[in-house]
Structure 1
Amino acid sequence: MSTPSQLAKRFREVLLDGKWIANTNFKDQLSDVTWHQANTKIADLNTIAMLTFHIDYYIDGILNVFEGGNLEIKDQFSFDIPPIESQEQWESLLHKLWNDSEKFSTLLEQMPESQLNEVFIDEKYNTYLRNIDGMIEHCYYHLGQITLIKKIIHFNANNTDAFH
């Protein structure tokens, strides 16, 4: 299996269908989250909706580069989620994440192996490989946060006096 295919498999594992590293994935964790839960604020943590938007923001930005465009994303805007005010809006965000994740994986699979060691836009951003590996690690990092926030929300719902 080529390196781009292996990377695409790892990317799909964390986002869409894997259980190897964390015994879960984004799709698994978010499939039963309501828009109310996605917007639930726990102390000073980001909400599940914010983290979902944040991950898709970076996937979408890198996708643009994969498709021959510029790197137009900026860290300062990566949590600028528009308000989620209905289940339909939440499901639309999830649908976008699933579609962008699959498209990212497909384009990655088609990438020539030699491109992995090429400069990603500018030397300050290192190589394609470094950015793809970083994206996978970034996804696992936020998957852990989402999993914990979801557990806190469920715990609070079942133990209303626990944190008061």
Structure 2
Amino acid sequence: MGSAVQLAKRFREVLLDGLWIANTNFKDQLSGTTWKQATTKVGHLNTIAMLTFHIDYYIAGLVHVFEGGNLEIRDQYSFDLSPIESQDQWDSLLTKLWEDAEKFAALLEQMPDAKMNEVFVDEKYGTYLRNIDGMIEHCYYHLGQITLIRNLLHSS
């Protein structure tokens, strides 16, 4: 199995179907979350909806690059979630995340392993491998936050 395929497998584990590292994944944590829970503020923490949007923002941005587009995402916009005021809006955000995650993994699987050592957009961003690894780590970081917030909501 090539490195791109292995990375795609790791990415799917954290987002869609894995249990190996965290014994959970985004889909497991978010699928049972209502829009009210997702938008409930706990102290000074970001909401579950905000973290979901944030992760999808970066995934969609990298998908755009993988498809040959420019890197158009900016950190300053990564939390610009429009208010979620219904279950349908929350479900739409989740659907977008699942579709973008699957597209990311599928595009990654198709990449030649040699691409992993190429410059990602600009030298300052490092290689494709560094950015893909960073995305996986970023996802685990926020998965931990989402899991903690869900636990805090269920205990109150």
AA at the equivalent of 2:19: K
Identity %: 75
Displacement of 1:44: 0.5
Residues 134-158 of structure 1: CA deviation (Å, up to 9, x unaligned): 00000000000000000000001xx
Corresponding residue of 1:150: 150
* Alpha-carbon RMSD: 0.3
How does the TM-score come out when normalised to structure 2?
1.00
Corresponding residue of 1:65: 65
Distance 1:67 1:116 in 2: 15
Corresponding residue of 2:2: 2
The list of structure 1 runs, each at least 4 consecutive aligned residues, that deviate by more than 3 angstroms after superposition, is: none
Distance 2:66 2:84 in 1: 29
Distance 1:140 1:113 in 2: 23
Distance 2:80 2:53 in 1: 8
Count of residue pairs the alignment pairs up: 156
How does the TM-score come out when normalised to structure 1?
0.95
Residues 40-68 of structure 1: CA deviation (Å, up to 9, x unaligned): 00010000000000000000000000000
Corresponding residue of 1:34: 34
What does 1:3-18 align with in structure 2 at a 5 Å threshold? 3-18=3-18
Corresponding residue of 1:125: 125
Return 5+ residue gaps in structure 2 as ranges.
none
AA at the equivalent of 1:11: F
Return 5+ residue gaps in structure 1 as ranges.
157-164
Displacement of 1:116: 0.5
AA at the equivalent of 2:12: R
